[in-house]
Amino acid sequence: MKSFKCHQCTHPINFDNSICGGCGSPLGFLSQRKTVSTLVQREDGWEVPAYPQGRYRYCRNHHHNTCNWLVPANSSRALCKACELNRTVPNPEHPEQVKIWKHLETAKHRLVYELLCLRLPLQSKTGNPKTGLAFDFLPYHVSNFTQQGALAAYSQGVITVDLAEAESVLREKNRDIIGESAGTLIGSFRHEIGHYYWEIIVQSETELLEEFRELFGDERADYSQAIQHYYETGPPQDWRDRFLSVYGAAHPWEDWAETWAHYLHMTDSLETAHACGVRVKTNMDVAGINDINRRKGRPDLYPFVLPPPALEKLRFIHQLIRRR
């Protein structure tokens, strides 16, 4: 993620801020420019000082304090690019649900930002029922997931999120059972969106699918049986030599989704480090960054040791994204 500054007072501002902490100016995110900007009120809408020719209004979800993205003032759309992906949202009358929804939206907006930066296709299911994407944020235990302790699940273009599990993930649990990416909201979203891109990019291209099978294995292996087997017997002894994360050992689809999530994790971390002026040149520098965290008693910033097959899988994803 890039770093942003208030145009009015140069105070650093965060991606999800609606008000500048330095001068109190209103802020909004302009998805076309991928930037957070200070806003100036004009008669016909908000003006973004760097691009004074356009006028904007906030996305409708700004009312609920779950979104700070802007929509062109003359657009017929009420929702921004990130919020139009929502199909079911929590009841805004329930303050507890809205509180969790806000955390989920912060992570989801961040994910959408990453996808826009990588120029990956992103369409809502409302506009494109066949290949579009939708999010269902479901209240406590309506989601009925098969995977124990899962925050989110993917099926046919829909990412379903269980608010109860989201709350528990906010309290950090289960990381060691359900894989690294499931330990955080953004990690879960990066994983689930990986399943979506497998479907709309890899599945339909014979050559890609063959290459995928060579690296990740044959995804036609019975999925429910594989998952059940994984939970009953645990991962194979040598999983560290073959997979990036333990959950990748469950099924080729999960290996792909974990690798995809890790790719987004890496690109975002590198962009953030670059924006903050951090330069990582050697493995020693990475060890140094981990050491800073250890001294605070925190887990390593980059705890992964990637075996050669996992690197090949990451390279496959990198090339696939670059080609597009």
Residues of the shown chain interacting with Zn ion in the complex, contacts defined by CB under 5 A: 6, 8-9, 11, 20, 22-23, 25, 59, 61, 67, 69, 80, 83, 254, 257
- State how far the alpha carbon of 185 is from the alpha carbons of 16, 92, 166, 195, 280, in Å: 15, 20, 7, 16, 26
Q: Please identify, using beta-carbon distances, which residue of 138 and 153 lies nearer to Zn ion.
A: 153
Orientation of helix 252-275 relative to helix 185-197, angle to 10°: 120
Report, in Å, the least distance between residue 178 CB and Zn ion.
9
What tokens were used for 2? 């890039």
Distance CA 244, CA 239 (A): 8
Distance CA 295, CA 315 (A): 33
Q: Please identify, using beta-carbon distances, which residue of 235 and 289 lies nearer to Zn ion.
A: 235
What tokens were used for 132? 């579009």
Q: Please identify, using beta-carbon distances, which residue of 80 and 100 lies nearer to Zn ion.
A: 80
Residue 155 phi/psi, 5° resolution?
Answer: -155, 125
Q: Please identify, using beta-carbon distances, which residue of 1 and 301 lies nearer to Zn ion.
A: 1
Query: How would DSSP label each residue in 170-217?
Result: HT---HHHH-GGGGSHHHHHHHHHHHHHIIIIITT-HHHHHHHHHHH-
Q: Please identify, using beta-carbon distances, which residue of 39 and 138 lies nearer to Zn ion.
A: 39
Report, in Å, the least distance between residue 188 CB and Zn ion.
9
Find the distance separating the first CA and the last CA of the chain, reported in whole Å. 21
Report, in Å, the least distance between residue 29 CB and Zn ion.
9
Residue with tokens 């992906």: 85
Report, in Å, the least distance between residue 296 CB and Zn ion.
30
Report, in Å, the least distance between residue 286 CB and Zn ion.
27
Report, in Å, the least distance between residue 108 CB and Zn ion.
10
Report, in Å, the least distance between residue 152 CB and Zn ion.
9
Distance CA 103, CA 166 (A): 9
Q: Please identify, using beta-carbon distances, which residue of 22 and 139 lies nearer to Zn ion.
A: 22
- Judged on CB neighbours under 10 Å (0-12, 13-18, 19+), 25 is middle
Q: Please identify, using beta-carbon distances, which residue of 20 and 115 lies nearer to Zn ion.
A: 20
